Structure 1
Amino acid sequence: MAHIKLPEFEEMTPAIQDKARPILEKTGKLGDIFKLLALDEKIYFATDGMIQKYLLDETTLSYDIKEAIALLISKENGCKMCVDVHKSIAKMLGLSEEKIEEILQGIDSMNVDTKDKALLNFCIKASGKENYKILKEEIDSLKQMGWSDVQIVEAVAITGYFNYINTLSNVFGLGHSN
């Protein structure tokens, strides 16, 4: 149970209700993170914009890489709710159960090329408290492997998004029974 009172559909602003209605029609419920964000329309729409642009729109990174970042960062941050949500999203995007479990075992267990592992390891480092210690040479190394500046920025933006959403979920006890 969340540490604060989450609004029900009827308590949300009309603009957020418009976003909630299709979710309710499709799934029959609203997740705790949706309800938490719905407390403040500005936070809701800023976050929704990030979700649309970073995760759902086609971008320079594949959905496989984006979902791997989502799962790895959420696991790193101890956000069980986000891991569970992204396991479902990864399945919807066509990742097999085996591939998802491989990701959750950690980067070294993943059957991906060295280039992908390097980017994912970089994202883990970028998500940490000591990300200010990342050196230009580490970014240059990713570029030498074939990652573009845009792809690296996008990967770090997705990493930052998951630090943000995991923090909201963890601080307010979302997805926990008590």
Structure 2
Amino acid sequence: MAHIKLPEFEDMSPEIQEKARPILEKTGQLGEIFKLIALDEKIYFATDMMVQKYLLEKTTLSYDIKEAIALLISKENGCKMCVDVHKSIAKMLGLSEEKIEQILQGVESINTTEGEKALLNFCIKASKKDNYKIEKKEIDALKEFGYNDVQILEAVAITGYFNYINTLSNVFALGE
């Protein structure tokens, strides 16, 4: 049970209801994270924009990589709720149970290219408190695998997004 009272759909502002209605109609429920951020319109709309731009729209990174980042960072941060949600999303996007389990076992267990493993390991390192220790040579190594500046930036932005969402979920005990 969440540490604070989460609003139900009917208690949300009309502007948030308008944005949340398609989720509610499609899935039959609003997840606790949507309810939590609905407490503040600014947080809700800023977070919704990140979801739309980073995760739902087609970007320079594949949906497979974005979901792998979501799963790895959420697991790293101990966010069971986000791991469970993104396991379901990964399945909807066509990732096999086997691939999802490989991801959850860690980067070295994933049957993928060395370049993708390097990017995923970089994201895990970027998610840590000592990410300020990342050096230019680590970014240059990703470029040697063919990643460009925009792809690296996007991967780090997604990593930061999951640190943010995992923090909200963990602090307020969502999904427990």
User: Into which bin does the TM-score normalised by the smaller protein fall?
Assistant: over 0.9
Question: By how many angstroms is 1:20 displaced?
Answer: 2.0
The C-alpha deviation readout for 1:81-137, integer Å capped at 9, x for no partner, is 000000000011110111111100100100001000000000000000110000011
SS of the residue aligned with 2:30? coil
Amino acid at match of 1:169: S
* 2:112 paired residue number: 112
1:89 aligns with 2:102: no
Identity %: 82
The C-alpha deviation readout for 1:32-75, integer Å capped at 9, x for no partner, is 00000100011000000000000010000000000000000000
Amino acid at match of 1:145: F
Task: For 1:146 and 1:136, locate their aligned partners in 2 and report how far apart those are by CA, in whole Å.
Answer: 16
SS of the residue aligned with 2:157? helix
| Mapping 1:64-75, distance limit 5 Å | 64-75=64-75
Amino acid at match of 1:158: I
Q: CA RMSD in A?
A: 0.6
Gaps of 5+ in 2: none
Task: For 2:26 and 2:35, locate their aligned partners in 1 and report how far apart those are by CA, in whole Å.
Answer: 16
Task: For 2:147 and 2:25, locate their aligned partners in 1 and report how far apart those are by CA, in whole Å.
Answer: 40
Task: For 1:26 and 1:55, locate their aligned partners in 2 and report how far apart those are by CA, in whole Å.
Answer: 17
1:166 aligns with 2:156: no
Question: By how many angstroms is 1:24 displaced?
Answer: 2.0
TM-score when scaled to structure 1? 0.97
1:76 aligns with 2:76: yes
Question: By how many angstroms is 1:26 displaced?
Answer: 2.0
Task: For 1:168 and 1:94, locate their aligned partners in 2 and report how far apart those are by CA, in whole Å.
Answer: 28
SS of the residue aligned with 2:162? helix
